[in-house]
Amino acid sequence: MANSPAHRRPSRRKARGAGIVPWLFISPWILGFLFFTLGPLMFSFIMSLYDWPVVGARTFVGLDNYTTMLRYDPQFWDSLWITVKFAALFVPLNIILSFGLAVLLNLNLRGTAIFRTAFYLPSVISGVALVTIWSWLYSKEYGLLNYMLSFAGIEGPNWLGDTGWAIFAITIASLWGLGGSMLIFLAGLQSVPKELYEAARISGVPPWAQVIHITLPMLSPMLLFTFITSIISAFQQLTIALLLTKGGPVGSTYFFAMYIYDNAFKFHDMGYAAAMSWVMFLIILVLSMLVMRWSTAWVYYEGEVKKEGGHG
């Protein structure tokens, strides 16, 4: 290109002195961020310090919403525990399954394109349609799932009506949307240099060892990304539970996000709902930070120069 660095430097300096003009160019984004992201964020924090019914007077209550939540509201802990349980099921399964599928699809066998489409398809289906399909599959009397199980001589559980099974039912339905993370892994796999595998093959490294010593390290940035986004989506799980079980049976799938939703729109307690949202935000933030910190031990970035002693 004609623009050598030597050419660009003076013009950049000029831009810095140009005042408002560059800001105007990015102003749509800045305004959007201020009004639709940062503004509501701050507003929700202020809200969380109030007893804020939708109609009627608002009163400042300081940290009351937070103390109520932590000390007097058993439902808060129940919902949090349900959500943690769900995350513990969903996050590892989501990573393992989407990684496994990506590896299989990367083998370039016949029909790969069809399978790739098939596995990704659920990700483009609207959540409501997805839930409707699953509620048919899970039906105890008329469901396809229990019908199939009956061929194997197994009497299927009441997937959505049993307090023990419902959370598994929701986990399975959620995993159906793993197409997105599968695609990320697939893209990652295809960018791994072929020479690495060739060298390994020549040296007689068996295929499983190639996966562990080449594929996994090369894909570690994608693993990290999927890990964090899975945690976030697990904590925010709402649609599927709301539509499939409505939090039941007997509150066994009453997720944290659903409790927030009910507090806001059913009990009209906006302050409490805002406080709970902040608690959820903090939990996700802390978890993500822990994962990020831990990730330096196992994530390998190509082109990154590790400091002494640090290797992937």
Partner 1 sequence: MKRRSVIIAPAILAATFWGGMAMAQDKVLRFATWDSDESLAIEEAIARKFEEANPGVKVQVEAYGDGYDEKLTAAMGAGSPPDVMYMWNFPAYKDSLMPMDDMIAKDAEAMNLADIPAGLMNISKIEGKTYGMPAGFTTQVVFYNKDMFAAAGAPEPAAGWTWDDLRAAAVKFRNKDTKTYGFAVDAKPDPYDFEQFLWSNGTKYISDDGKTVDGYMNSPEAVEVLTMFAEMIKNEEAVALNIGDDTSGSTLFKGGKIAMFQSAMWSKSGIDESGVNYGVVVLPQFGVKPVHSAIGASAVSIAKDAAEPELAWEFVKFFSSPEAVSMRKNDLPVRTSVAEAQGMTNDPVFKPFFDMLATSNKEIHAFLKNAEWGRIQENLAKAIEATMIDQGNAKAHLDEAVAASARFLQ
**Residue 87, C-beta contacts closer than 8 angstroms, at least 6 positions apart:** 231, 234, 235
> What residues between 243 and 282 interact with partner 1 by CB under 8 A?
248-251, 265-268
The least distance separating partner 1 from the CB of residue 40, rounded to whole angstroms, comes to: 14
- Is omega for the bond preceding 207 within 30 degrees of 0, making it cis? no
Query: Residue 147 CB, nearest distance to partner 1 (Å)?
Result: 14
Of 226, 243, 125, which is closest to residue 181 (Cα–Cα)?
226
Burial class for 104, CB neighbours closer than 10 Å (0-12, 13-18, 19+): middle
Q: Is 21 in the site for partner 1 (CB under 8 A)?
A: no
Element at 60 (helix H, strand E): strand 59-60
Task: Give the shortest CB-303-to-partner 1 separation in angstroms.
Answer: 47
For the bound state, the minimum distance from the C-beta of residue 47 to partner 1, rounded and expressed in Å, comes to: 12
Q: What is the CA angle 215-220-221, rounded to 5? A: 130
Tally of CB atoms within 10 A around 179: 21
Of positions 10, 17, 28, 74, contacts partner 1 by CB under 8 A? 74
Closer to partner 1 by Cβ: residue 100 or 164:
164
Shortest distance, position 236 Cβ to partner 1, whole Å: 19
Phi and psi (nearest 5°) for 269?
-110, 80
Our finding on whether 54 is near partner 1 (CB under 8 A) is: yes
Verify binding: residue 55, partner 1, rule CB under 8 A: yes
Residues at the contact surface with partner 1, assessed by CB under 8 A: 54-56, 72-74, 135, 138-141, 158-163, 166, 248-251, 265-268
